[in-house]
Chain A
Amino acid sequence: MTTTAPSSAPAPTAGPAARGVGVYKTYGSGEAEVRALDGVDVEFAPQRFTAIMGPSGSGKSTLMHCMAGLDDVTSGTIYLGDVDITGLSEKKLTMLRRDRLGFVFQAYNLVPTLNAIENITLPMALAGRDPDQEWIDQVVRTVGLDDRLTHRPSELSGGQQQRVAVARALASQPDLVFADEPTGNLDSKSGIQVLGFLRQAVDEFDQTVVMVTHDPNAAANADRVLFLEDGKIVDEMSEPTGEKVLERMKRFGD
């Protein structure tokens, strides 16, 4: 089990940070069967910021859940680094998430009874490890929360809460950060801030970020955009801009 102590980011020469091969995911059965993922092959390069886009019901969230080991696949294989996670036990998956992945959800990212810094260091607390204080300080400084660390989530604005969530996702220096509509509940100014931090994490801290979004402007912060439709990857785009992504999205018939 490759439980990595937080160390430096993977060397650029390594393979993809995560990889899905022939991934199928169906819900229900018979008449009611829904094919959420229909044979997806995907790779996320390390130290890159990847956005997954697609219309509602295209399977983008499902893809992320499967890649992150939050949901199981019907067939196909998921690798995190070079570990095949499709056959892992619940317990091993939990440890994998704890030690090697970071999560930013759309809402309800924080434990309401813990203050900001306790939330940030929670994954380490769950693992029974001491956080890397220098790194934590750096992350906290970057997201600009120095003076808010002892506040409870209820005492923070939505944007501040989401910044805490980003800090928590980065706190254990994971191999990969998954962000699921991280700006979905935010006003545009806070949204831009949060995206800026994710961008910074990739550029300055050599992190790897995969983000699901339906906002073209959010996707424009990524290095690469994958487009999903009906459970299949139908297109991808490098060096995206807001207009280019919007243009592509408009081509999805609805």
Chain B
Amino acid sequence: MWKTTVHGLLAHKLRFALTALAVFLGVAFMAGTLVLTDTIGKAFDDLFASVNEGVDAVVREESPFDDDFGQAIRSPIPEQIADELTAVDGVESVEGNVFGAATVIGTPEQIAKREKEGDDALGRNRGAQSPALGFNWPVAQEVNPLRVVAGEAPAADDEIVVDKATADEEDLAVGDDVVVTTVAGTEAYELVGIVTFGTADSPGGSSVTAWETSAAQRALGFDGTYLDVRVIADDGVSQDEVVANISEAIEAGEITGTANGRDLKLEVLTGAELTDEDQNELADQLGFFNTFLLVFAGVALFVGIFIIYNTFSIIVAQRTREMALLRAIGADRRQVLMSVMLEALIVGLLASALGLGAGILLAGVLQGALEALGIDLPSTSTVIGMRTLVASMVVGTLITVVSAWMPARRAAAIPPIAALRDVSIDTSGRSGRRVAIGLAIATFGALGLFVGLFTEIGNSILIVGVGAVLVFLGVIVLGPLLALPMSRALGAPVRRFRGTAGTLAQANAMRNPKRTSATAAALIIGVGLVGFITIFASSASASIGSVIDKAFLADFTVDSGSFGLSGLPPELVDQIEELDGVEAVSPVRLGTAEIEGKGAQLSAVDPTTINQLFDVGVSEGAIEGAGPTDLFVLRDKAEEEGWTVGDTVTVNFARTGEQELAIAAIYDEPQPAGTYTITLEGFEQNFDESQQFDPQVYVRYEEGFDLDQAREELEATVFAVAPNGGGAGPAGNQGLDHHPDQPAPGCGLRPVGPGHHHRTARNRQLAGIVDLRANP
């Protein structure tokens, strides 16, 4: 039997290949995903381990709350804590650590050249595609993730080093003057060195600028403070010992810190814990990426089930006489069953093995694609984990074998007499039972869809997903019954116009409804998927588009174009205000605070001008005239919480702790301000200096002012303050966006669908880049 199977396979290479292809593709995708994420994970694990290698302990504020991404929010700690730490037993030395946004703009010559070349050159650099990071340069090299590869370390206030990737890309050399924008403003520094991050040219594609520590504190907005303090222990003192000593000192009150009149609650952790934390944070992010890709692999394999089922059904039908002959000369049912299953097993194993190989190659290709997108990964060898091997082989083989099970059962049921007769047996199933089962599954699925979409019971995404799959399965079960009337209806015109050929085609489609519907099933999935992706993409862009059009009354948006991490220095707003013809200007500043026990994003605007720049649809209270202790809330949220104007809400800021804010206004439009908005003054009081930057600035000119002239002047101003156009946008996108055709106030408002609130600085920025266009 083994022999017939193997010979059979070898004799039908094409059939074999087609069956294997379905499994091969699914497994390749799955293996590729696993290898890629393992490799990326390993690369960063190694990187974090190596950059934190010299750190024995870290002291920082214990995070009072997480933001809506689950990232810990914490305040800087006063720098005297570093001095206090040096007195602790077992501490050899300490390093204050600061970190912030710093965008490398280029040399003054480059900037002048760009300016001459016009609008388009206003901004385009690495900072546009990925975060632009600023670091301090520690004295103790054990705790420094950066390695000098050319020039030297920064020592003076006006010296910087940048990462090798940025230096290469922006054509910067040691000795150049380089302009960098930070929260403190835009300034030129002398480039004294080129560095790598661990072994990588840049950390995950981000640009890096580093200063000597006190210069970094100034540039990054850490006046007299550090983000945290890193401790190097004496030789022979373990991480646990030094952490224990520091904890004791904190408890004894020998190390304390106050910030903004508040006692800070400090925490201390070992270097190993810090590495774990970094690694886990990354693992969470990779986990999402991983799941996303694995869903595609899963869909490929799901489609594969139908293809394999269908192929094996056809194989069995074609080999009816062979099976019957085998039965006649003495093969029992089990042997026939096993021969088909064996074939499936061989196909499954081989296809999985090939898929695994292809997946490993695919991972390399994907990694290359990431690098082409500017996401350099730290160098490491490709990681092929046991999990990848086992999962790929088991899943691929199992799917093949399970899919072949039904056809194999059918093969085993072929009576030996079939060898002697020209039989074609169509057992089209008991229709009554099929209808009942199919309808039951489909109904249950439809119920799930309804519950998930229109009610608030349970995890709606999960319920919708399960519902969709059930409806699909129901349709598959009902398929053979639908195939007959549908073939009849669809075939009728064919029959009419194509004569005998049409008649035969229709008759063939109707002859074996099961076969027809199984073939259709693979197509149903395919078309369904294309539909899903298309709808998903178009509704995503529609929700962004509709949101952008409606609320803006401004003429121009100055967009930092970078991730929420960096932005335009606040001085820009003041300078724009001074320009001729400017009627109103306001930035939108972003931060995170804890409201009702959850990290929430807050926007800050200038309450005196905001009504001229956006129509957010204030339906209760007023924004104008509000002060630093006022809060504005989106109507949806206010209704959910039962808040009205005049109510007090407790907001926990990382910097200032719990503050009582009064609701001054309730607004209807979630764009551009989001769920919670405060005044700029309130933001300045409650957020750290390092967060005082503007992702976007909105400008409105007086009626009738020449907007071309306005644009020119605005550009010049932006350029002077932030020569990259404020962190720059991607190629083709200017830092400046024009909103002509200013509408009468209150016009152009369209309702917004629920669930489209911008949630994060990142989303907001991207939305701004994509669609900040003409105002309707």
Q: CB within 8 Å of B: which residues of A?
A: 61, 65, 70-71, 90-91, 94-95, 97-99, 103, 105-106, 108-114, 118, 122-123, 125-127, 168, 180
Contacts and interface: CB of A to CB of B under 8 A. Distances in A.
B8 A113 contact: yes
B417 A71 contact: yes
Contacts of B330: 94-95, 97-99, 123, 126-127
B520 interface: no
A91 B333 CA distance: 8
B425 interface: no
A94 B10 CA distance: 28
Interface stretch (B318-326, B716-724, B761-769): B318-326
Contact of B329 (A61, A90, A168): A168
| Of B1, B4, B335, most A-chain CB atoms within 10 Å | B4
B726 interface: no
A103 B11 contact: no
| Of B1, B330, B331, B332, most A-chain CB atoms within 10 Å | B330
A90 B332 CA distance: 8
Interface string B298-329: 00000000000000000000000110011111
B7 interface: yes
Nearest to A97: B330
B262 interface: no
B3 A108 contact: no
Nearest to A96: B330
Contacts of B322: 108, 111-112
Nearest to A61: B420
Given A108-B321, A111-B322, A113-B11, A126 B419 contact: no
Interface in B360-418: 416-417
| Of B322, B326, B416, B420, most A-chain CB atoms within 10 Å | B420
Contact of A114 (B3, B321, B331, B335): B3
A111 B328 contact: no
Contacts of A71: 417
Nearest to A122: B329
A192 B11 CA distance: 33
27 contacts: A65-B420, A70-B417, A71-B417, A91-B332, A94-B331, A94-B333, A95-B330, A97-B328, A97-B329, A97-B330, A97-B416, A98-B330, A98-B331, A105-B325, A109-B325, A110-B325, A112-B11, A113-B10, A114-B3, A122-B326, A123-B330, A125-B1, A126-B329, A126-B330, A126-B335, A168-B329, A180-B420
Interface of B: 1, 3-4, 7-8, 10-11, 321-322, 325-333, 335, 416-417, 419-420
A94 B327 CA distance: 7
Given A111-B325, A111-B326, A95 B332 contact: yes
B328 A90 contact: no
B496 to A, nearest CB: 35
A123 B11 CA distance: 21
Contact of B420 (A105, A111, A122, A127): A105
Contacts of B416: 70, 97
Nearest 6 Cβ contacts at the A-B interface:
A98-B330, A113-B7, A94-B332, A113-B11, A113-B8, A126-B330
Contacts of A97: 328-330, 416
A98 B416 CA distance: 12
Nearest to A168: B329
A103 B335 CA distance: 19
A111 B419 CA distance: 12
Nearest to B327: A94
A108 B326 CA distance: 11
Contacts of B333: 90-91, 94
Contacts of A118: 3, 7
Nearest to B332: A94
Contacts of A112: 11, 322
Nearest to B416: A70
Contacts of B1: 125-126
Contacts of B8: 113
Given A110-B325, A113-B4, 20 more contacts: A71-B417, A91-B332, A94-B330, A97-B328, A103-B328, A105-B325, A106-B420, A108-B321, A111-B4, A111-B322, A113-B7, A113-B10, A114-B7, A122-B4, A122-B329, A123-B329, A125-B1, A125-B3, A126-B1, A180-B420
A94 B420 CA distance: 16
B150 to A, nearest CB: 68
| Of A90, A95, A168, most B-chain CB atoms within 10 Å | A90
A60 B90 CA distance: 104
Nearest to A172: B330
Nearest to B12: A113
A95 B417 CA distance: 16
Contacts of A114: 3-4, 7
Contacts of B327: 94
A95 to B, nearest CB: 7
Contacts of A98: 329-331
Contacts of A125: 1, 3
B16 to A, nearest CB: 12
A165 B321 CA distance: 15
Contacts of B4: 111, 113-114, 122
A70 B11 contact: no
Contact of A108 (B7, B11, B419): B419
B620 to A, nearest CB: 81
Contacts of B331: 94, 98, 126
A113 B3 CA distance: 9
B251 to A, nearest CB: 79
A113 B15 CA distance: 14
A98 B8 CA distance: 22
A106 B419 CA distance: 10
A106 to B, nearest CB: 8
